[in-house]
């Protein structure tokens, strides 16, 4: 089955098949015609040869017959011409003929005698030595024709006495010979009666009339048929048939006759009339010529087929070649289109440049990259590609010359409008035979976006998004660099940790938007006030760190002072005039650390100390500060587990009505007995709890516990008693105070009037509006409000009036020195007087002695609290005290 070529159409294939078939048919027909013609010529030639051969054979057979006939005639002439021919004479006469070995099988003399002559014959023969003459057949009859002489006698004794007139095959010939006087030939006879292989032959008979001394008779010659044809059929290409017409049977068939018949030989026939018999001779050709014809024809047909196949193959090869050319052409077109499509649609710019000529090809993307509408415009207007750095252009071109290529080079290009873009540029050169650059092909990928993204990532990783200042990561780098540089030059580095005082209040009251703007303004102000090589970093929230390479103690002091001064100037943010102060902690390399992290941490510690010192100030880091910072950290660590471990307790200090001496309230005060740190003063752990935010949780616990305690006392009969709890600034602003109080009241079953919260002036004044909102929410619950530590802060009573303050607590620092410090006495007197005017009750704290009590009672102080009456007491002790005082 022919393989179908992909892409070769069926129509083409059919045409090819038809052409090949046609050629095969034409060649086959030509072959057949040629073979026919050749066969015919061959046949004619063969016929001619055959005729000639047949003539030869015919002549030979005829001459062989005639030779035998003439011998018989000669023998007959011998008898006719002699009075008597005796046996010896006969023998001598025919001896040559029978010895010639050319087919004369036997020669005999058969006499015609009548019955009465038979004894004389026997007598004569007996005399001649034939003693036992037997007639064959022996039957008595009138006429006998027995063979009386025959030669060679030795081999043909059995012929002696044979009566030829009794034999149906010889009798007709004998008669005819007598009647015509001619040699006549008998029917074919078997020459050897008992032989295994029959031997055919003829008997030729010639009549000899009787003479006076001799009876008439026949001379006979027995001729072996084979001898007539010997040597004639030896050629394998000839077949012979020799038929006796009268006998009508083949006398001789060549050994190849059957094959010859099967192959249809050419035959030539002759009729041979001899001795009164007609013989039919058929000579045929051998079959060799037919085979040749068949071979020829086969070869012709094979050639036809081969030619057809060859043509088919040629056509197919040609068609395939054409098809391949078509396909290659199509593929080339496709690839050209693909290339065009790709080059015009990819985002990479592609160009070809020729030294001295500039660009000779660019694609669409390249034109767009350089800000041109299309390639034509760029090719017309643009010179060489513009590199931001001409030296880089030279360097890359040198690479092309030296290495033949450069790959993935990051390049900055300039557009005609002056804008820049970043790209990755790769190019490869093609060289002339002399090695010079013939042209170079390049690819440019615009990586501006990637660069921008990288820069954005870098910015995010290293800069504070709000202010654009370096973040902690970059700060660490800068400090590291500053230390490395300073270390070599043995110079100091100052690290300032700056925190904005009460920034949270700004954030909470004015919102984060304003807070953020304030931070930006602060960063700008800081940047303006610092040297170029100083680094300002924002760590987050309101924390800034300033690194000042080369600055030691004096320079840092100077800078801190100037910063604090500069911050006195108002920040105008979105219509708000904000005053904000910084607290600054300073650490110095190398004294306070040689690592960025240590220097920042120590500056932070110093900053806390500055805040503790009353804000808007700065502090240098000291070992003592570090110790305190460590203690604070340790306190915080242990405080985290204090609530859960039940390490906190409340003690209650009575607040007493001086006139009656009755306990009207009890202030709940925290106590922490740490199994590790021992007893820790509230003045030590409360600030830590506030800084860490733990105060929210602890504060809730205090309110809840105090109210539960009061409920318990009330159940035990302690009437007209309320509890006062300290609420810290962090708890007030960040903790959900309202919810905490509501929950605790609910669980204790008490009313709001049983609770008083103590807030410092500073808490309220840090955000008056918000404080008002919170307090207004509490008011409906009946919760009372006391201003703690009054006198230490703003001390603006009239201002506080609007908050419906229930009690003012005069700070114990004023009470302590009442006797010795006239200022304190004056302040206390003034406060008491003002409070009475405003109908606000006053509680004096820290009353330790009778003089203090007398001073206060003289001025109608409403309540007294202090060691003079009682130290803070455990609940049961207070209950016992109450039992003594209030019954």
Ligand X SMILES: Nc1nc2c(ncn2[C@@H]2O[C@@H]3COP(=O)(O)O[C@H]4[C@@H](O)[C@H](n5cnc6c(=O)[nH]c(N)nc65)O[C@@H]4COP(=O)(O)O[C@H]3[C@H]2O)c(=O)[nH]1
Which one of 496, 702, 778, 808 is in contact with ligand X (CB under 6 A)?
Answer: 702
According to the binding rule CB under 6 A, does residue 492 interact with ligand X?
no
CA separation for the pair 165, 462 (Å, rounded) = 155
| Residue 601 within binding range of ligand X, rule CB under 6 A | no
580, 567 contact by CB (below 8 A): yes
How would you classify the pairing of strands 200-208 and 217-224? Answer: antiparallel
Sole binder of ligand X in the list 637, 681, 712, 720 (CB under 6 A):
681
Asked if 507 touches ligand X (CB under 6 A), the answer is no
Which of 618, 866, 873, 886 contacts ligand X by CB under 6 A?
866
In whole angstroms, give the CA distance from residue 706 to residue 878.
13
Query: Is residue 53 at the binding interface for ligand X, with CB under 6 A as the rule?
Result: no
Residue (238 or 853) nearer to ligand X, CB: 853
Binding flag, residue 788, ligand X (CB under 6 A): yes
Tell me how far, at minimum, the Cβ of 815 lies from ligand X, in Å.
Answer: 8
Are 699 and 740 contacting, i.e. CB atoms less than 8 angstroms apart?
yes
Binding mask 746-785 for ligand X (x = CB under 6 A): ----------------------------------------
- Structure token digits, residue 594: 């040689």
Can residue 669 be called a binding residue for ligand X (CB under 6 A)? yes
CB of 701 to ligand X, least distance (A): 9
658 binds ligand X (CB under 6 A): no
> Which one of residues 170, 256, 286, 728 is an interface residue with ligand X (CB under 6 A)?
728
- At closest approach, how far in Å is the CB of 727 from ligand X? 6
Minimum CB distance to ligand X smaller for 497 or for 869: 869
If one asks whether residue 139 binds ligand X (CB under 6 A), the answer comes out as no
Neighbours of 670 (CB within 10 A): 23
Our CB check for ligand X shows the closer of 472 and 700 to be: 700
CA atoms within 13 A on the CB side of 514: 18
Contacts of 283 by beta carbon, 8 Å cutoff, 6+ apart: 50, 53, 54, 57, 238, 239, 240, 267, 268, 269, 270
- In this structure, are strands 663-674 and 249-253 parallel, antiparallel, or unpaired? unpaired
Are 472 and 497 a contacting pair, CB within 8 Å? Answer: no
Pick 475 or 853: Cβ nearer ligand X: 853
Q: Which is nearer to ligand X, 444 or 759 (CB)?
A: 759
| CA-closest candidate to residue 761, choices 793, 805, 809, 799 | 793
Residues 57-76 contacting ligand X, CB under 6 A: none
Smallest separation (angstroms) from ligand X to the CB of 581: 23
Task: Specify the residue, 549 or 687, whose C-beta has the smaller distance to ligand X.
Answer: 687
Give CA–CA dist 600/634, Å, rounded: 19
Among 465, 513, 540, 682, binds ligand X (CB under 6 A): 682
Q: Helix, strand, or coil here: 498?
A: strand
Residue 560 C-beta: closest distance to ligand X, Å: 30
Q: Residues 833-852: x/- map of binding to ligand X (CB under 6 A)?
A: ------------xxxx----
- Among 37, 630, 799, 867, the residue binding ligand X under the rule CB under 6 A is 867
CB of 630 to ligand X, least distance (A): 22
Closest approach of Cβ 786 to ligand X, in Å?
Answer: 10
Please state, in angstroms and rounded to a whole number, the distance separating the CA atoms of residues 670 and 787: 18
Helices (H), 569-693: 596-612, 623-642, 682-692
Dihedral of CA atoms 65, 67, 69, 72 in degrees, nearest 10, equals -140
653 touching ligand X, by CB under 6 A? yes
Residue 265 phi, psi (nearest 5):
-75, 165
**Of all helices (H) and strands (E), which one includes residue 786?**
strand 784-790
Is 683 a binding residue for ligand X by CB under 6 A? The answer is yes
- Among 27, 97, 265, 670, the residue binding ligand X under the rule CB under 6 A is 670
Site string for ligand X, 807-836 (x = CB under 6 A): -----x------------------------
Cα torsion for 329, 335, 336, 337, to the nearest 10°?
A: 110
Residues 364-383, mask of contacts with ligand X (x by CB under 6 A): --------------------
Q: Does 624 bind ligand X (CB under 6 A)?
A: no
- Using N-to-C axis directions, what is the helix angle for 737-748 and 768-778, rounded to 10°? 20
Query: CA-CA distance, 304 to 32, in Å (whole number)?
Result: 10
Number of residues binding to ligand X, judged by CB under 6 A: 22
**Could you say whether residue 686 binds ligand X (CB under 6 A)?**
yes
Residue 198's nearest CA partner among 221, 169, 225, 172 is 225
What is the gyration radius of the CA atoms in the chain, in angstroms? Answer: 78
Q: Rounded to an integer, what is the distance from CA 783 to the centroid of its chain?
A: 75
- Binding residues for ligand X (CB under 6 A): 653, 668-670, 681-683, 686, 702, 726, 728, 788-789, 812, 845-848, 865-867, 872
């Amino acid at each position: 089955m022919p393989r179908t070529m992909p892409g070769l159409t069926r129509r083409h294939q059919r045409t090819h098949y038809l052409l090949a078939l046609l050629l095969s048919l034409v060649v086959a027909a030509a072959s057949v015609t040629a073979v026919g013609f050749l066969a015919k010529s061959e046949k004619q030639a063969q016929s001619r040869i055959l005729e000639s051969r047949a003539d030869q054979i015919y002549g030979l057979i005829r001459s062989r017959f005639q030779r035998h006939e003439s011998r018989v005639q000669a023998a007959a002439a011998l008898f006719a011409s002699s009075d008597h021919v005796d046996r010896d004479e006969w023998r001598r006469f025919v001896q040559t003929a029978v010895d010639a070995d050319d087919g004369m099988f036997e020669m005999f003399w058969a006499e015609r005698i009548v019955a009465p002559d038979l004894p004389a014959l026997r007598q004569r023969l007996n005399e001649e030595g034939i003693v036992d003459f037997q007639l064959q057949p022996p039957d008595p009859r009138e006429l006998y024709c027995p063979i009386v002489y025959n030669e060679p006698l030795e081999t043909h004794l059995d012929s002696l006495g044979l009566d030829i007139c009794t034999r149906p095959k010889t009798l007709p010939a004998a008669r005819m010979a007598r009647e015509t006087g001619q040699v006549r030939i008998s029917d074919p006879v078997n020459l050897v009666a008992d032989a295994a292989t029959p031997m055919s032959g003829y008997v030729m008979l010639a009549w000899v009339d009787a003479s006076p001394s001799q009876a008439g008779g026949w001379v006979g010659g027995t001729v072996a048929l084979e001898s007539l044809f010997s040597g004639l059929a030896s050629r394998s290409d000839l077949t012979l048939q020799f038929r006796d017409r009268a006998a009508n049977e083949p006398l001789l068939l060549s050994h190849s006759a059957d094959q010859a018949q099967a192959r249809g030989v050419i035959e030539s026939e002759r009729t041979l009339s001899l001795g009164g018999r007609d013989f039919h001779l058929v000579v045929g050709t051998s079959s060799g010529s037919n085979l040749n014809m068949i071979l020829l024809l086969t070869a012709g047909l094979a050639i036809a087929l081969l030619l057809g196949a060859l043509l088919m193959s040629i056509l197919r090869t040609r068609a395939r070649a054409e098809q391949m050319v078509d396909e290659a052409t199509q593929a080339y077109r496709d690839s050209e289109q693909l290339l065009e499509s790709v080059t015009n649609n990819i985002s990479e710019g592609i160009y070809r440049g020729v030294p001295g000529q500039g660009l000779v090809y660019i694609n669409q993307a390249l034109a767009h990259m350089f800000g041109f509408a299309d390639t034509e415009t760029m090719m017309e207007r643009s010179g060489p590609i513009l590199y931001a750095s001409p030296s880089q252009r030279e360097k890359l071109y040198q690479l092309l010359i030296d290495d033949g290529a450069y790959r993935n080079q990051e390049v900055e290009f300039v557009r005609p409008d002056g804008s820049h873009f970043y790209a990755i540029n790769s190019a490869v050169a093609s060289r002339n035979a002399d090695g010079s650059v013939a042209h170079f092909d390049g690819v440019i990928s615009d990586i501006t976006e990637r660069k921008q993204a990288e820069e954005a990532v870098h910015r995010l990783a290293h800069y504070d998004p709000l202010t654009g200042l370096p973040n902690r990561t970059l700060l660490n780098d800068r400090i590291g660099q500053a230390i490395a540089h300073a270390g070599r030059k043995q110079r100091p580095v100052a690290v300032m940790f700056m925190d904005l005082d009460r920034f949270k209040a700004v954030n909470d009251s004015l919102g984060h938007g304003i807070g953020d703007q304030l931070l930006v303004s602060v960063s700008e102000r800081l940047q303006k006030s610092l040297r170029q090589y100083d680094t300002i970093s924002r760590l987050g929230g309101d924390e800034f760190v300033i690194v000042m390479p080369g600055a030691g103690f004096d320079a840092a002091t100077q800078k801190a002072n100037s910063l604090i001064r500069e911050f006195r100037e108002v920040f105008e943010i979105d219509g708000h005039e904000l005053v904000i102060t910084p607290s600054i902690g300073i650490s110095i390399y190398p004294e306070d650390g040689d690592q960025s992290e240590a220097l920042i941490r120590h500056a932070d510690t110093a900053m806390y100390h500055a805040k503790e010192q009353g804000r808007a100030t700065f502090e240098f880091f000291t070992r003592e500060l570090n110790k305190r910072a460590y203690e604070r950290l340790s306190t915080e660590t242990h405080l985290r587990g204090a609530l859960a471990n039940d390490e906190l307790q409340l003690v209650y200090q009575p607040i007493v009505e001086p006139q009656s001496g009755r306990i009207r309230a009890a202030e709940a005060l925290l106590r922490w007995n740490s199994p590790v740190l021992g007893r820790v003063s509230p003045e030590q752990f409360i600030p830590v709890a506030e800084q860490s935010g733990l105060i929210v949780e602890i504060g809730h616990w205090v309110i809840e516990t105090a109210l539960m305690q009061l409920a318990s006392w009330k159940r035990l009969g302690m009437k007209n008693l309320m509890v006062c709890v300290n609420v810290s600034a962090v708890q007030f602003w960040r903790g959900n105070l309202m919810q905490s109080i509501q929950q605790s009241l609910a669980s204790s079953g008490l009313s709001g009037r049983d609770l008083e919260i103590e807030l410092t002036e500073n808490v309220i004044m840090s955000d008056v509006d918000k404080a008002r909102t919170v307090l207004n929410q509490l008011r409906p619950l009946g919760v009372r409000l006391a201003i703690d530590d009054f006198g230490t802060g703003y001390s603006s009573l009239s201002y506080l009036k609007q908050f419906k303050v229930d009690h003012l607590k005069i700070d114990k620092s004023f009470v302590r020195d009442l006797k010795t410090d006239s200022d304190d006495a004056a302040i206390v007197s003034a406060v008491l007087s003002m409070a009475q005017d405003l109908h606000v009750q006053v509680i004096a704290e820290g009353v330790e002695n009778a003089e203090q009590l007398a001073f206060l009672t003289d001025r109608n102080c409403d309540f007294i609290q202090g060691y003079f009456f009682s130290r803070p007491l455990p609940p049961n002790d207070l209950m016992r005290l109450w039992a003594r005082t209030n019954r």
